[in-house]
Amino acid sequence: MKVMVLGIDGYLGWPLALRMIARGHEVCGADNFYTRKAVEEVGSWSAIPIPSMEERVKAVKRVFGADLHFKEGDLRDYNFISSFIEEERPDAIIDFAEQRSAPYSQIDLSHAVFTMENNVIGTMNLLYAMKESAPNAHLLKMGTLGEYGTPNIDIAEGYFEVEYHGRKDRLPFPRQAGSWYHWSKVHDSNNISFAVKIWGLTATDVHQGPVYGTRTEDMKDDELRTRFDFDEVWGTVLNRYCVEAVAGLPLTPYGEGGQTRGFISLEDSVTALSLLLEHPPEQGTMRVVNQYAESRSVMELANMVKKAGDEMGLNVQIKPVPDPRVEAQRHYYNVERYVLPSLGFKPSHTVEGEIPVMLRDLMKYRDRLIEKRDAILLAGSNAGVNWRQTSNKVVKKPLRSELKA
Ligand X SMILES: NC(=O)c1ccc[n+]([C@@H]2O[C@H](COP(=O)([O-])OP(=O)(O)OC[C@H]3O[C@@H](n4cnc5c(N)ncnc54)[C@H](O)[C@@H]3O)[C@@H](O)[C@H]2O)c1
Shortest CB 368 distance to ligand X, Å: 17
Distance CA 209, CA 218 (A): 22
Please identify which residue in 98, 218, 268, 374 interacts with ligand X, judged by CB under 6 A: 98
Catalytic residue among 11, 115, 185, 214, which? Answer: 185
Least distance to ligand X, CB of residue 167, Å:
35
Q: Is 181 a catalytic residue?
A: yes
Q: How far is the CB of 310 from ligand X (least distance, A)?
A: 26
In the range 220-239, which residues lie near ligand X by CB under 6 A? 227, 236
- Note the Cα 283 to chain centre separation in Å: 26
Q: Is 220 among the residues known to form the active site? A: no
Quote the least distance from Cβ 123 to ligand X, whole Å. 10
Closer to ligand X at the Cβ: 96 or 387? 96
> Looking at 34, 104, 148, 181, which residue is catalytic?
181
Q: What angle do CA 83, 206, 352 make, to 5 degrees?
A: 125
Which residue in 29, 90, 103, 210 binds ligand X (CB under 6 A)?
210
- Least distance CB 40 / ligand X (angstroms): 12
Contact indicator for 10, 327 with CB cutoff of 8 Å: no
Binding mask 107-146 for ligand X (x = CB under 6 A): -----------x---x-------------------x-x--
Q: Which of 115, 123, 144, 202 is catalytic?
A: 144
Cα-trace Rg, the chain:
21
Instruction: Compute the least distance from the CB of residue 394 to ligand X, in Å.
Output: 20
Return the residue of 22, 43, 64, 74 that touches ligand X, per CB under 6 A.
Answer: 74
- The contact pattern for ligand X, residues 141-180, with x = CB under 6 A and - = no contact, is -x-x------------------------------------
Could you say which of 35, 115, 133, 179 contacts ligand X (CB under 6 A)? 35
Contact with ligand X (CB under 6 A) among 93, 211, 243, 247: 211
Q: Rank residues 117 and 371 by Cβ distance to ligand X and give the closer one.
A: 117
Taking CB atoms, the residue at the shortest distance from ligand X is: 10
Among 4, 20, 28, 32, binds ligand X (CB under 6 A): 32
Per rule CB under 6 A, is residue 7 in the interface with ligand X? yes
Q: Which stretch binds ligand X (CB under 6 A): 5-13, 148-156, 165-173, 243-251?
A: 5-13
97 contacts ligand X (rule: CB under 6 A): yes
- 163 beta partners: 168
- Quote the distance between the C-alpha of residue 219 and its chain's center: 19
**What span, in angstroms and rounded, lies between the C-alpha atoms of 1 and 260?**
37
* 34 touches ligand X (CB under 6 A): yes
Q: Are strands 167-172 and 202-208 parallel, antiparallel or unpaired?
A: unpaired
- With CB under 6 A as the contact rule, the residue among 3, 4, 5, 11 that binds ligand X is 11
CA angle, 8 then 335 then 387, to 5°: 70
Neighbours of 250 (CB within 10 A): 19
**376: Cα separation from own chain's centroid:** 18
Between 96 and 180, CB nearer to ligand X: 96
Q: Minimal distance in Å, beta carbon 349 to ligand X?
A: 14
Distance CA(181)–CA(142), nearest Å, equals: 13
Residues 6+ apart with CB under 8 A from 194: none
Should residue 10 be labelled a site residue for ligand X when binding is judged by CB under 6 A? yes
**312-345: burial string, b at 16+ Cβ within 10 Å, e else:** eebebebebbebbbeebeeeebebebebbeeeeb
185 is catalytic: yes
Specify the residue, 133 or 179, whose C-beta has the smaller distance to ligand X.
Answer: 179
- Find the shortest distance in angstroms from Cβ 212 to ligand X: 8
User: Which residues are designated catalytic?
Assistant: 144, 181, 185
Return residues touching ligand X (CB under 6 A). Answer: 7, 9-13, 31-35, 74-76, 96-100, 118, 122, 142, 144, 208, 210-211, 227, 236
